[in-house]
Structure 1
């Protein structure tokens, strides 16, 4: 099925990482989202790849909604120049609000927080709590170990092979938008094989 999002949530790092290509790809993604009129929803930070995306979307005339828990806002890592900034009481509320405000999800390079958000949104999809697309933007093969881990869960007998259909993998921004044309349907066995 083809997919035309009005808003996309990007899970990504609060650091920029060791390879400048991560930031360059974030800028390409941000520019494309702004050009397509897609609202950028994210964790509300002003630092790292998060901050880069927000600045670039805004610089290109796009709309940015940040969602940040109060304790992080008090640490002054929240971005103060966004279209909209929502302050939540907890990390759980932050993730729920990002989910509710987004038509789909893109995963860029990031750390443990990015992994947490990614696995949770994939688990919710496995449990049929949503059918929104999840695109893993595998810039410079950053997410190769993630794919190997998913393969290991299948090979170890802890996941149905259909879990690979919970997400698409793209190598760059162009592939992200190309993948919107072919979002796979999730096999019911992805859930029922665990019951």
Structure 2
């Protein structure tokens, strides 16, 4: 586990606990010699987690689309800042550079990134750990909804477990270290799905 991609808000949210959790996650990552890959912004929780990793002497790679460079206030104090052409290139580079993915509290963009990464894992396009840092119960409603998706037959329980969740950063990272590829079934592992592949 050399690098983890963090998805999180470009706003700080209303609770101080969100920023505290972002700093705690940054501290645990640096302690474990894990580099940060993230969206490249200087504001909100994005800025908090990046600033803390940099303050502690860790490595931070930011990836930001040119159109968002001003809006998300691109962070120029990082180890590396990649300015890319669009969101698709941003997410592809994040995935390529990361050994796992964690979502802190955030808005629609955070959820979109999380669910795309989770979908890729479900389909078998990658086999990397994915987790939620469920700060102050922020993701309780989402986890309840995913339970409903399972109970209504739209998601298998085994695939739902692709998404880890913990309230403490150290525990989530411990589960990431315990993760072994090939533990979960993927939709593209079935013979009928294999027949669709080139």
Both structures adopt the same fold (TM-score exceeding 0.5): yes
**Equivalent in the alignment of 1:63:** 59
- Once the two structures are TM-superposed, the CA of residue 162 in structure 1 deviates from its matched residue by 1.5
The counterpart of 1:114, out of the listed 110, 113, 116, is 110
**Equivalent in the alignment of 1:35:** 31
Alignment length, in residue pairs? 191
Q: Where in structure 2 are there 5+ consecutive unaligned residues? A: 194-198
The counterpart of 1:23, out of the listed 19, 26, 42, is 19
Moved more, 73-82 or 52-61: 73-82
Give the Cα–Cα distance (whole angstroms) in 2 for the partners of residues 130 and 64 of structure 1.
22
Give the Cα–Cα distance (whole angstroms) in 2 for the partners of residues 63 and 188 of structure 1.
32
Give the Cα–Cα distance (whole angstroms) in 2 for the partners of residues 76 and 173 of structure 1.
25
TM norm structure 2: 0.90
CA-based RMSD of the aligned residues comes to 1.9
- Once the two structures are TM-superposed, the CA of residue 77 in structure 1 deviates from its matched residue by 1.0
1:75-86 matches, cutoff 5 A: 75=71, 77-86=73-82
Q: Where in structure 1 are there 5+ consecutive unaligned residues? A: none
1:155-170 matches, cutoff 5 A: 155-170=151-166
Moved more, 92-101 or 157-166: 157-166
| Kept in 2: contact 1:170–1:179 (CA 8 A) | no
TM norm structure 1: 0.92
**Equivalent in the alignment of 1:124:** 120
Give the Cα–Cα distance (whole angstroms) in 2 for the partners of residues 92 and 162 of structure 1.
28
**Equivalent in the alignment of 1:187:** 185
